[in-house]
Structure formats: structure tokens, C-alpha cells
A and B are shown apart, each in its own frame.
Chain A
Amino acid sequence: MKTTQMLMQFIRFRPGLYAVDAVLVLSGWLLFLVPAYVGNHYFDSLSRGSSVSTEVWWLVALLVMSIVARILLMFANFYVDETFRHSIGSLLRKNLLSHILKLPAGRALLGSSGEAISRFREDIDESAEYLTWHGLLDVVGAAVFAVVSLVLMLLINVKITLVVFLPLILVAATAHMAGKRIDKYRRISRQSVGQVTEYIGEMFGSVQAIQVAHAEERVTKRFRELNDQRGRATVRENVFNSLLSSVFANVVDLGTGAILLLTARSITDGSFTVGEFAAFTYYLTWIAQLTRRFGMLTARYKQLHVSRQRLTTLLQGAADTELVRHGDVYLKGEFPEVPYVEKRDEHRFESLDVTDLTYVFPETKRGVENVNLQLKRGSLTVVTGRVGSGKSTLLRTVLGLLPQQSGEVRWNGEAVDDPGNFFVPPRAAYISQVPRLFSDSLKDNILMGLPEERVELERSVWTAVLDHDLQQLQNGMETMVGPRGVMLSGGQRQRSAAARMFVREPELYVMDDLSSALDVATEQTLWERLIEQRGEVTCLVATHRPSLLARADHIIILQEGRVVAEGTLEELLQTSEEMRRLWDGD
């Protein structure tokens, strides 16, 4: 998709709205012709007679009316223009986010979220703005104005008009040649913006560690360095752009000088009137604005090109037409229902067979290789191993959160093609090693869109052993948990995430080290309640908790991404050196 095609898609998304916007902007610009008409006839009328004619009063009244009309137009224009701009911005954000949420979740973003935000903010806002009154439409309006004035000027005096307009062609060529540099400067300055926003996000995400290390000053120093880099890059870009637009403006000032030179003779003999001169200079002042605007627009077009590429990168290789795929953006009317999938027979779990599963991180070359795994309904399977042995990677690859590089996953004997979309509630739910909560109420964090009246919120909270905490929290379920859940303790966060999983009543529970923030008694309670409530549960758990190892029906030991032993605890303690080491810690 070319940048122009992207813009066409924007227009096709809301053609009616854009047409109204365009008509309003054009009308606004055409009103600017009125003062030229007024000036022309005013001076001619003055030089004709020695008393003030009624024509002069009419001209003054006309001027005032044109301004009133312009103000009224402007309010309508703001309304329409903003609506169009936000329709496009909303569409881009919707398409981008929904695409990211379709990618294998563990690899959905290759940079930081802070860096991605600079694309969701600057690049999208800029793309959405390009076509509007703040961008293209204004230039089109100015161009229409210029064409009309050109015709009017030609009617007055052909020779002078041509001499004034010729240099403009030269300038268009200059702008074209400068294009590459605009592009380059833009890229550099944008990149430095991304670095700065990423740095702020990352550092404030680690603020506690920084305060513990008493590193506030050093971290700030580094921030100031990054800022200076960005400052330099941006100043260079702006000065270059200003130089360019100044070339444009200068050509028109030279044009005015040329009129003076050419009319030096004809104005004395009266073949070119003062009124016409006034109209000419008026037109030129505005045409100067056109060229300046046009220069800005060319620069912004290059910038838009960069923005489009930066947005496309987030799609990770998908067709970039995804960005502009048309669909409702819900800026008015009913919001879409959040569908609730009730558990039916088709979701029932019998068995899961994983064969030869491989995923290796491209950056660190670590991961899991050729792992086989079988789960039966009602069993507890534990994956264990040392730090960095690949336990989490295995669970995430099975669930499709990481894209498997080879192997097969079969659910009830049937191959799963798209595990990322298949292993969702009510089939499976997952709790990560460091569960994320969002800055919403506790209830919203647990439900995450489930209809409260159709699920058993209270029982899930009880199963997750969160009932006691809930009584202590001042606002109970409505307590706001703060960004990433920081208002809760580590254990509370983990149990909230557990409640989030339980309330979905999945057939298969996948838990990555659920108990690391729980004390043994709480963990015991949790397991007892889970079994008591759900009866036959199937669990796939990564842990090295002795109590869970003892409870497991089957244990898989990973070492450097490969299965080195499996069986029950009893068997493994006899046969596996690694198991004994993990069990005793020797």
C-alpha cells in the first residue's frame, strides 16, 4: 500500500463527512476573494472622484458581511473536521490494537509498550490530521483560491501575471530535490522521540528499584542526555523546513518586486490602476501563504510516509492494508456487545497431546525443543526445572502465546491450528508468572468484561482465597488497584489473577508458578477449594513447590529446554538426579 492509497482509504471510510468538510474549507477560502474585490473597486472609485460615492459604502458593508459569513462557516468547519479526524484516528487505533491482539501474545510487541505508544499517539494523530483542515484541505482551499486569483489576474494583465508566476515552477523543483533530506531528518527526529518516551515508560516502570538503588540522579542524567539528542535532531529538522518554506515565500516577494518594476511605466500612464495594483498585491500575499503551506504539506507528506512505515512495523509483516480496513469505530450509537461464550459440550476437555513442540527465542537462542506432553482429563501435570530451563516458555508455546516453530498440539485428538485463539475460556485459561493487573477496579480486573450476572464472581474470589482480603479492602470489589495493580500486595495480585482465571471456569487450567507469592497455607487452601468447588479439574502447572510436586499425577523435568525425565515424584526421586537436586536443593 502506498501512502496515497492509504489516504484514499481514509477518504473512502467517511466520504460524505469529508465532502462536507471540503466544501466548508473551500467556501472559507473563497470568501478571501471578497477583500480583493473590495480593494480593487475602492481605490479605483477613490481615484475617479473627489467625493465619497455610495459605492464605497457598499464595498465596506460587503467586507463586513464576508467576515460574518466566515465566522459562521468556521464553527461548522471545526465540528465536521474534528469528527472526520477522530474517525480516522479511531479507525487506525482500532485496527492496530486489534491486530496486535491477534499476534502471538508473547511476541505481540517487539519494542516496549512506551515506544509503541509514541506510534499510537504521534504517528496515528499525524496520519489522521493530514487530510483535514489542518493539512491537505487547507492547501487545496488555498490552491483553488490561487487558481481563481490567477484567472482574475490574467483578466487584468497577462504579461505581469505570467512574470510573477513563472518563478514558482522553479521552486516546486527545489522542494522536490529537498525531499530526501526531509525524510532523513524526520526519521532521525522521530526515532529520538521514541527513545525518550520509551525511556520515561521504562524508568517509571522501575521506579521502586531506582529508589532502592538511590539512582534517581543518574537516571535523570541519562534522561537529559537523550533529551538533548532529540533537541538537536528536531532543531535541525525545523531549521531545514524553515529554510525551505522561506525559499517559497521569497520567490513571491520577488514577484511583488517584479510587479513594481513592470508597472513603473504603465501605472504612470494610467493603463494599470492603483486599484488593480492593490488587488494584485493582495492576491500575492495570499499566494505566498499557499506556497508556504504547500512546502509544509510536502514536508508533512514525507513525514506521513515515515509514520505509515512505523505503524506498519507494528503489524509485523501482515499486509499493511490491515491498517485501513474499514469497520465501525463506534463514535456514535450503541457500543458493541462484549460476547460471552457459554461453556457447551463442544468445549469439554478429554485429552491434550503435544508432540515435538519447539520454540526458541531468536534473540537469546533459548527456549524449548522437541517437547512431548500428554494431559488427561482430571489430571495434575507439573512442569519443573531450574531457573531458565524453559518452563514458562513451554506453557506459553502450548497456549500459542509464543508461535511454535515446529510440532503439533492436539485437543481431544484433533490438531489445533490456531492455538492462540483456541486456548481461551471456556476451553483454557492461563495465569502468568508475574500476572498483570490494570488500573481499574478489582472487579473489572477479575471480570474483564464477563457479564457479572452470568458468572460466579463471589465463588471465584473465595476459591482464590481472596475473600479475607476483600473484607479488609476499604471499597471491596470496587477498590481501584492502581497501575499494574500496585495498590495490592504481591500475593493479592497473584490471587486476583487466580480469581480472574477461576471466574472463567475453564476446562484446562494453565498456571505458571501460581504459588510463588503465596505462603504454603494459603496455597494449600487454594488447591483444596479449587478441587472442592470444581471437582474434576485438569491443570498444567509450572512450579517447584514440593507440595505440588507431591500432589502431581505426572511430573516433567526440563533442563535447558529439553525434557530430561518424567514420571511420578516417587519414580523420579529414584531415577532422576535432577529431580533429587530440585527436591532437596543439594
Chain B
Amino acid sequence: MSFQEYRKMLGQYLLPHRGKVLLLFLVILMGSGLQLVNPQILRFFIDTATSGSGQVNSLINAALLFIGVAILTQGLTVLVTYLGDTLAWTVSNTMRGDLFAHSMRLDLKFHNNHTPGRMIERIDGDVNVLSNFFSQFGVRIVSNFLMLLGMLVFLTYTNWGIGLTFIAFTGVVMFMLGKIRFFATPFWTESRETSAKLFGFLEERLSGVEEVRANGAVAYVMRRLHELNRLRLHKDRRAFLAAGVTWSTTIGMFSLGTALSLALGAMLYANGTLSLGTVYLIYAYVNMLRAPIEQISQQLQDLQKASASIRRTSELLGTKSALVERSGRSIADGALQVDLDNVSFGYSEEERVLHNVTLTLAPGKVLGVLGRTGSGKSTMARLLMRFYDVNEGGVRLNGVDVRDASLSEVRKRVVMVTQDVQLFSGTIRDNLTFFDPAITDERILQAFTELELLEWYQALPEGLDTRLGPSGGGFSAGEGQLLAFARVFLADPALVILDEASSRLDPATEQLLTRTVSKLMENRTGIIIAHRLATLQQVDDILILEDGRIVQHGEREVLAHDPESRFYQLLRQGMEGVLV
């Protein structure tokens, strides 16, 4: 991680707020200036007092001036907190939002590898550290460096020998600090990663308490917690000790500076070059130096923590979706024609899930897909949604390869309902509209009417404002699927894919849905993946997959009457109650 990268990140996020940054900077500048004034007052005070001329009045005036400056400094401190914090939150919230938006768009392969708990750590945890970096780091580093600069100027003005000594000294200190600044970074990275691991673990177990309890795995989970707790202790302790190296180097060098100033001051006082007040001024500046240098050191520690976070943040922002958007061709309106052209696909390089699948589905037709678990049915659906890109061949919607259309175009036109419905904590309305204010309550109710869900809806205690618990808690999996159907009605797509969408419904409810499904498929192209034949009574075509290959494809009517066909055999077995 180089300074350029910091600058780039700071620039990207701070530039839009340069007015506020400038204001903040000015306030800090004033504050630092005032802090430099007080030792000068003290020098005047001492020199006047020890000169023996007894001007008590001017001493009292100096004391009052000192008090005035102190009050003003405090006021500026509060202002700096306000300006700095506001800026930090504005900036870090932008960053959180950007990270959130970016991650939301990443492909499912990414999300399959990152738990929601880990995303919390990445989007919130890391940026929290950065927020401190934004609100404190720039401000403090700048103000402390300005103080340093001011003191050096004053010292040189007072006595060029002392000034030059301390300019050289400061140069050495800066160089050393630059050398060791990043010493602890890898340790902080490990520390934060361990923490992400611990909280990812906890998040998963907390959302799977039933699994843990009912399988008698409590002791096992507790042991894993102990292991992660211990790991976190070891990583954190190492990181702190590593940071201590940086810190102690700073302090050590600084103490040499103090000793140097005392020695030089004594010698120059002895030969009459400096007054006692001036020696005190040097002593006071050096004592004042302690605080800024400790703060700089502290800030550098934070920077080490932050640079681990910055690295992970820019890593996350740099993670490209595996789905490259090319030209963004638009797909013609109306029901979609679906073409799979010699498609092969696997989730990893080694194993293929689909082999040379070629298939055409005419606009407005409905295709029923059958096959055993693992035969590639769901994978085919995911390719049509463009959750993944094919390894070979192509997927085309109305003649446009999905890789040439923009993702938003594809997702606007194609909607899929899966067996696992993802619901989140929030109102029913939010779960249906995903916060789209353009979808009115009337439209939702209309969808419910079409789905014959009005009765169910009216039984809800607070209507559309009824809150679902986390992960859709409080509602059954079957109800979740009904809500997923309502989502489709609201989305109004051109191609509807139902991936075993009704498997959690009882036959009575499913029967009810058959009517609405056919309503849904009106003027749309449809693909219904099922392992129950009853679901496929109204489809036009039938496709049977086995181990990722097409073993049968044709019109339902034809196949149903051809005793040689696999479908015919399935139908016969179906009559006996054994369906696939």
C-alpha cells in the first residue's frame, strides 16, 4: 500500500467536499497558531519578572492574555470536532454506500464465498476504521505538523543554532518514522481478518440455532468459539506489540530531542546568548512537542490499522464481477425467444454441469423441464438470468447474446422464482417492492387478487405494514413462495422461470396456483422446472435433462402420445403415484 493509493482514495472521496476541507483546515490553522502564542507569553512573563524591573501591571496583562487565548483555543477545538466529524461521516457514508452498491452487483460466485456476517465486517467494520482515519488522521496530522513547523520557525528566529539543530533533528525523526510506519500493517490485517472470521462464525451459528440444538452440536460450537477467541487474542496481541515498536521508536527519538534541548539551552544560557525566558520557551515548546508527536505516533498506529482496512476496501472495490458487460445491446420488446446454442458450463474449470445443450423456445411458449436432482436444471435457469456466463456456446434472448446486453436489461426482462425464497427483515411491502416507491399499494393488492391471496392478506394483522422477522421469520416457507409469486407479478417480465417454485406448497395451494401460473404466462415466455408432473399440465414443450445433457425435447402433446418417449413412460409411472 503506497502513499499514492491513500492520496487517490482521499482525493476521490474528499475532493467533492473541498470547501469543507478548506474550512476545517483554516480552523485548525488558527488553533495551532494560538497554541504557539502561549509559550511566547510565558517567555515575556519570565523575562519581565526576572529582570527585576517590577512591572506588575504588564505581568497581569500577560496573564489575562494567556487566559483569553486558552478560551479561544477550546472553542476552536469543539468546532474542529464538529467539522471533522461531519466531514468524516459524509465521506465514509459515501464510501459505505459505494461498497454496498458495488458488492450488491457482484456475481453470485462472490457472494457464495462471503457470508453476510463477513460483508458486515467489510462494509461497516472496515469503513468504521477508515472513518476514524478520515475524521482524525488528516486533521491531527496536519495540525500537529503545523505546530511542529511553527515551533521550528520560532526556534530558528530565536536562535539559528538551536533552530538548525532541531530542523535536522526533525528530519531524522521523519525519516525514521517513514521507515517503520508500515511495520505493523500485516499484523493488523491478520488481526482484522481473524475478527471477521470470528463474527462470521457467530453470525452463521446465531442464524442456525435450531440446527445446532437439535443435532446436539452445542458443545462443538462452543469449542469452535473457544478456538476462535484464542486465535483472536494471539493475533491482536501480536499486532499491538508490533505497533509498540513504532510507538517506542518515536518516543525514544523524542526523548533524545528533549535531552538535546536541555543541554543546548544550558550551554547557550551559560555563555549569555539566551535569556532564562528563552530557555524556558525552548523547554515549553519541547514539552508541547511531546503531545503532537505522541498524537502523530498514535495516528500512525491508526493509519496502520486503516491501511489494512484501506487495502481490503480497495480490494473489494477492485473485485470485478465475473460478468463483463460489453456493448449493452437492447433486447426487443415483447415475449422473448430463448436460444441456447451448444451451451457448456461448469461452476469450476474441472467439472462441467451442462454439456452441449442446444435448445430453442419460441416467444410465448412455456417449456417444462424435468430431470433428477443435479441434472443441471437449475444451472440452466441461472444461465438465463445471467448469474453466470457460459464456458462455451451462447445464451440468446430475442437473438441478443446475454453477454452483449446490459445486466440490468436482462434482469428487467427475465424473472426467476426459486425454491429458496429470500425474505428479509422488514415490512411485507418492502419485501415485495424492494423499496420501490413507484409500486403502489393498489398494484400490490391487484397482484394479491390475481394470486387469490386476498383472504390471506386480509388476515394479516397490519396489512402491508406487517413486519417479517429476520430472514423472513414468522412466515412459513410456503407463504414465502406465495410472496415470491407476487414479486413476479409486480416485476412484469418477458420471461418467467419457475425453478421448483411450488415444491414447498401443498397440493391444494399448488392447484390454486396453477391457475395463476397460467395467467402469469399469458403473453410471456415461460420455463417451469419441476419434479412433479402435475405442475406441468399446461406447458407447451417438454425438456428432459440427464447429467447435463438433453435426453428428450419436444412438444408435450406429441411426446405424451408417443409410447416410445421417456415422457410417456414418466406419465404412466405418474399414474401410479411414482412421479419421476
Contact = CB atoms under 8 A, between A and B. Distances in A.
Contacts of A218: 434-436
A67 B82 contact: no
Interface stretch (B6-14, B21-29, B199-207, B329-337): B199-207
A231 B205 contact: no
Contact of B276 (A52, A274, A386, A388): A274
B434 A215 contact: yes
13 contacts: A46-B266, A67-B251, A74-B244, A90-B233, A113-B207, A213-B434, A246-B74, A335-B226, A433-B477, A448-B220, A449-B223, A486-B112, A517-B500
A439 B111 CA distance: 12
A329 B226 contact: yes
A278 B435 CA distance: 64
A581 B506 CA distance: 10
Contacts of A278: 280, 283
Given A101-B209, A111-B470, A201 B116 contact: yes
B435 A268 contact: no
Contacts of A544: 506-507
B506 A79 contact: no
Nearest to B574: A520
A430 B90 contact: no
Contacts of B217: 448-449
A484 interface: yes
A385 B505 CA distance: 10
A436 B214 contact: no
A531 B577 CA distance: 20
B310 to A, nearest CB: 19
B140 to A, nearest CB: 14
Contacts of B423: 206, 209
Interface stretch (B174-182, B354-362, B413-421, B549-557): B413-421
A322 interface: no
A278 B265 CA distance: 15
B373 A518 contact: yes
Interface in B219-235: 219-223, 225-227, 229-230, 232-233
A196 interface: yes
Contacts of B166: none
Given A331-B230, A517-B503, A519-B373, 5 more contacts: A101-B213, A232-B89, A277-B46, A285-B287, A520-B580
Q: Which of A112, A399, A429 has the most CB of B within 10 A?
A: A112
Contacts of B202: 93, 97, 116-117, 120
A432 B211 contact: yes
B316 interface: no
A42 interface: yes
A83 B104 contact: no
Contacts of B487: 209, 213
B204 A438 contact: yes
B50 interface: yes
A274 B269 CA distance: 14
Given A78-B241, A387-B479, A112 B470 contact: yes
Contacts of B558: none
Given A222-B435, A278-B283, A365-B461, A98 B218 contact: yes
Contacts of B324: none
Nearest to B236: A82
B412 A63 contact: no
A483 interface: yes
B510 A401 contact: no
B237 interface: yes
Interface residues of A, number: 184
A439 B199 CA distance: 13
A250 B70 contact: yes
B419 A490 contact: yes
A386 B509 contact: yes
A50 to B, nearest CB: 6
Which label, helix, strand, loop or mixed, suits the secondary structure of the A interface? helix
Q: Which of B71, B227, B258 has the most CB of A within 10 A?
A: B258
Interface in B368-416: 371-374, 378, 385, 387, 408, 411-412, 415-416
B62 interface: yes
A329 B374 contact: no
B445 interface: no
Contact of A201 (B112, B119, B280, B508): B119
B348 interface: yes
B16 interface: no
A520 B236 contact: no
Nearest to B434: A215
Contacts of B241: 75, 78-79
Interface in A509-523: 510, 513, 516-522
Interface in B52-87: 52, 54, 56, 59-60, 62-64, 66-67, 70-71, 73-75, 77-78, 81-82, 85-86
Interface string A202-231: 111111111111111111111110011011
A516 B208 contact: no
Nearest to A215: B434
B515 to A, nearest CB: 11
Given A203-B104, A212-B415, A227 B97 contact: yes
A449 B220 contact: yes
B216 interface: yes
A544 B505 CA distance: 8
Contact of B504 (A425, A513, A522): A513
Contacts of A472: 351, 374
Contact of A43 (B117, B244, B280, B577): B280
Contacts of A585: 507-508, 510-511, 534
B454 interface: no
Nearest to B77: A246
B93 A227 contact: yes
Interface string B437-460: 000000000000000000010000
Interface string A314-342: 00000000000000011110011011010
Interface string A172-190: 0000000000000000000
Contact of A500 (B114, B199, B215): B215
Interface in A227-262: 227-228, 230-232, 234-235, 238-239, 242-243, 246-247, 249-250, 253-254, 256-257, 260-261
B435 A121 contact: no
A114 B120 contact: yes
Given A256-B70, A490-B500, A519-B373, A209 B422 contact: yes
Contacts of A282: 287
Contacts of B60: 261, 264
Interface string B502-524: 01111111110000000000000
A460 interface: no
Contacts of A387: 476, 478-479, 482, 504-506, 509
A534 interface: no
B251 A206 contact: no
A486 B539 CA distance: 30
Contact of A209 (B212, B259, B421): B421
Contacts of A399: 214
A100 interface: yes
Q: Which of B75, B213, B265 has the most CB of A within 10 A?
A: B213
B263 interface: yes
Interface string A56-94: 110110011001101100110011001100100110011
Contacts of B500: 490, 517
A174 to B, nearest CB: 14
| 7 A-B pairs with the lowest CB-CB distances in the bound complex, closest first | A449-B220, A112-B470, A387-B478, A253-B70, A215-B434, A231-B89, A257-B67
B100 interface: yes
B270 interface: yes
Given A63-B258, A492-B373, A267 B434 contact: no
A326 to B, nearest CB: 15
A583 interface: yes
Nearest to A205: B116
A574 interface: no
Given A202-B470, A492-B374, A434 B435 contact: no
